[in-house]
Structure 1
Amino acid sequence: MNAPPNIDSVATDPDNDVVRWLTNETREQRFIDNIFAELCVRLQRADVPIKRASLHLLIQHPQWLGARILWADGTQDAAITRVDYDVRQRSEYIGSPVAEIQDGATEIRENLERDPALGRKHGVYDELRSKGLTDYVAWPMYHTLGKRHAVAFSTDRPGGFDDAHIAYLLRVMPILSLVSEIRMKNRMARTLLETYVGTHAGELILAGATRRGSGTTVHAAIMICDLRDFTRISDNWPRDDVIGLLNDYFDAMSEPIARHGGEILKFMGDGLLAIFPLSQPSACANLLHAVTEARQAMAALNEKSRESGGAPLNFGIGVHVGDVMYGNIGSRTRLDFTVIGPAVNMASRLETFTKQLGKTVLLSRAFADQVANDFDLERVGEYPVRGFSDPIELFAYHG
């Protein structure tokens, strides 16, 4: 059995002082799950007999309400589980220690050795007992502006944690709160940038590309997509139905683009602008693979809509390849990280031509030359394009 730690002697032992390590030696570690796992191992070395620990974080993410970081004895790493937004309606959350913490509890302590009929009723306590654990304690972890998260520790020590163990864990808590908040803020900033400007643009912004007018020239395939008859739909459908329709449409288009290495730079009402940098192998082919999968996803969406009595959605895509200026454009206080240039204008003009020519996907000759050996294309003809002096040869893609 581990002897209870002497808090005063541990605090003066540089090899055993978890607080000193947490305060001074975690600066180079970006990820809170790695810090939490090492924290648990160091607590064990300091004779705090933890066998299992978990960190429960509320995060700002478009898909996830939060995350659980779980560490178990004998492991060097912690497992991360994402938590859905609807978890609060599920039995795994209702009545759980984390729910009690979020409802305002300042400590949850459960003696797992006593008769279960005398303790709290929740599946997590049954799970802990089945693993031979004897004691459980959870506390809120406070971040700024009233944000509450939760951290929990369990032991298999007969009799559970003693007062010295609890005192040591409480000594660690304020520093863990600070360290975790810094990592969460960094991750949150990265997530928000990825969500609103895309992964690559987000990385550039975090790396310091925030000055107006700063940018680079990128050789890329450009794709512009637009939904047909959206004005009629938005005028006649209920607001929530219109938003749901747009989200389904953008899912159908966006997921194949991301899967094949493209980056969506912006949503423009019912349209989107994406690029596939030619620095990536097979970028042009990847764009057409994404278009093929997007069309299949839209067909499935339309079938679902027909089954519920809705009308099918139509769309047009214009594709070109060329140099674009990729960077910050805007006012002194409000910037947009985007691409501009004649190549973008050409893609936009081709998307407009899809309406006139009755084609879903139109490619410029410059783009078609990049993929002609690998894809079946239909030559549509040469057409004058507004803003360009020479007629442009157009090709349709039906894949």
Structure 2
Amino acid sequence: TAHTMASWSGKFENRLNALADGASKESVQTLAKWIGFNRKHRKDFAQILFKSMSSPPSAARQWLYWQLVHEVLIQEKNSPKWDRLEELRVSLGEIVVVPLFDKEQEAAMVTKLKPLLEEWDEVNVFGGPTLINEIKRKLSSQSKAQKESKPTEDNENAAKQGEPTTVENKPAKSADEKKESTKEAKAAEDPKQAPQVQTQRPKLMRRQSTIEEINFDFESQGIPAGKVEAREFLEPCRAIATLQIARDLRSDATVRLPSILAAIPEDVKKMCDELRKQHEETGEAPEIPEDVVTKLSVELGADVLELNIDEMLDNLSTLREIAHKMRTARKRLAHLLIRSRCQFGSKEAADTYYSLEEKSKLLQKRKELLSDAMDLEGLDFEEEDPSQGNSAASQEKPLEEFSWYKREERDAKRAKIH
């Protein structure tokens, strides 16, 4: 029904508006999965998304919407569920993506969209080449138009100088021919001004580490030292990672709520207080005159009128519960770290490694003694030919010492830890 469609449209619009401009990737993926789950309303979702992307408040918001479109299009790309979402992807392509490229995009946005388009083409998101080729053509034409719309002053002057004085017996040159002749003339006059093609990629600068060594007094925490298995850390870490996605989604909506409530006029708040007091005194819900309802509908914005109080209260309650669970998981993780004294078995593994090396040397000496004894007894034994180069001795390579562990300092370090 029309009411149901409007309801789903309102739900999607609320979720879309609840996303902050700097929303995390997990929050965007969560909304993309919600769209995929409710894909039977795909046309309503696509129309709302196109409306929002046609006039975004900022470039950051526009890029957020493109990220959402991208996550929906590549959703379940390596899963058996991929074919189920084909109609949703085609609807987004026809209603959102292609019409948006009819409008001129900023140069910076075009640069960001090119990698997304390559991935769409690679996984064949639209089930055929028709839509993707149309998008490529529109994107290419926009890139070309943006480059041609910004000629340099030197190119313009050179173009003017290169134009013939008489054109009665010659056809007029096209814009592309003029541009090419301008470049050639300029390069001939000054070779230094000729365009240079960058053949090397810029070097990536390694960021300096900001890790600082901190002395922590484990004994002051009152937690006795003990062995902690690696699997004990798994449960709190898994809880934190799982709850973080749900927290980000609800946090965006919660942060937006105060700004919505702040938009309510003071006279409306005063009227609400009077009606609430009247309800508390009489115990019955007061009737609101129709003219007052009309006035409120005019003064209040759409965000306030469409606000679902019960849903927001449930959202706040859930957010509080998630924060409590994450706090408990972090406390448990900190307790395990202090209990283990941040010793995860690397020292024991190094001890085992070096002890095996010592035993290997001892066995080699025993082998040499046995060989000498057998020679004295006149016994023959088969020995590998070292000239073949496949013996264990010839293949063995000396291993470097661990930079973080010194055998001679083992006892001193253990005394310091305990």
Say whether the fold is shared (TM-score over 0.5).
no
Larger CA Rg, structure 1 vs 2: 2
Which TM-score tier does this pair reach, normalised by the shorter chain? under 0.3
- Tell me: higher relative CO, structure 1 or 2? Use CA pairs within 8 A at least 6 residues apart: 2
- Greater helix share, structure number: 2
- Greater strand share, structure number: 1
Report the TM-score, using the length of structure 1 for normalisation: 0.20
Report the TM-score, using the length of structure 2 for normalisation: 0.19
